[in-house]
Amino acid sequence: MAAVDLTTHPGHLARRLQQAHYLLWNTMVSEEITSPQFAVLNALVVEPGLDQRTVGERVGLDRSTVAEVISRLGRRGLLGKVRDPRDGRRFLLRLTEDGLRTHRKLTVRTARMNQVFLAPLSAAEQGVFFDLIRRVADAAEGLRHPAEPLAARP
């Protein structure tokens, strides 16, 4: 059996991109706050008072991951929870002053990191790149529950 050309496999390339992003994030942005944690902070800057489920939907995190991210940010004192007055079972999330300061600081760093990450592409290519990966990511949202079980596949 011949080996496959992994440069034609989107998952392989996505993993390589993620590795590059992770390295740049840890060296240029933060070793303490992860990219998903920053995404949650950012969502709460855009829309303060969201509940946990909605935050997860906004940033593309599953329920268990968003719960862990919110728990970690809460332990760091970066966000607080208040019970929803309209639904006592639900908590609404807001950034603390420390959370807002952290978000501001990381926003500057992420801008610099993104410049380095995207440096191989021209401005026009960056626009195309974002359009294409956004389209694939949006379409992938529907692939979370494939129609055909793995056992039935060749």
Q: Which residue has the tokens 């966000």?
A: 79
* 34 CB burial (10 A radius; 0-12, 13-18, 19+): middle
Cα–chain center distance at 134? 13
Instruction: Please determine, for residue 153, whether its predicted confidence score (pLDDT) is greater than 90.
Output: no
The pLDDT value recorded for residue 144 is 60
User: Cα–Cα–Cα angle for 3, 135, 16, nearest 5°?
Assistant: 40
Please give the pLDDT value at position 148: 58
pTM: 0.86
Q: Is the pLDDT of residue 129 over 70?
A: yes
DSSP string across the chain? -PPP-GGG-HHHHHHHHHHHHHHHIIIII-SSS-HHHHHHHHHHHHSTTEEHHHHHHHHT--HHHHHHHHHHHHHTTSEEEEEETTEEEEEEEEE-HHHHHHHHHHHHHHHHHHHHHTTTS-HHHHHHHHHHHHHHHHHHGGGSS-SS-GGG--
Provide the pLDDT for residue 88: 84
Q: In the CATH scheme, what architecture does the domain 14-142 have?
A: Orthogonal Bundle (1.10)
pLDDT digits (tens, 9 = 90+) for 37-96: 999 999 999 999 999 999 999 999 999 999 999 999 999 999 999 998 888 888 999 999
In this prediction, residue 135 carries a pLDDT of 93
Query: Residue 139's pLDDT is what?
Result: 86
Cβ(43)–Cβ(92) under 8 Å? no
Using one digit for the tens of pLDDT, what is the confidence trace for 101-124?
A: 999 999 999 999 999 999 999 999
Length of the chain: 154
pLDDT of residue 106: 98
> Rounded to 5 degrees, what are φ and ψ at 93?
-110, 140
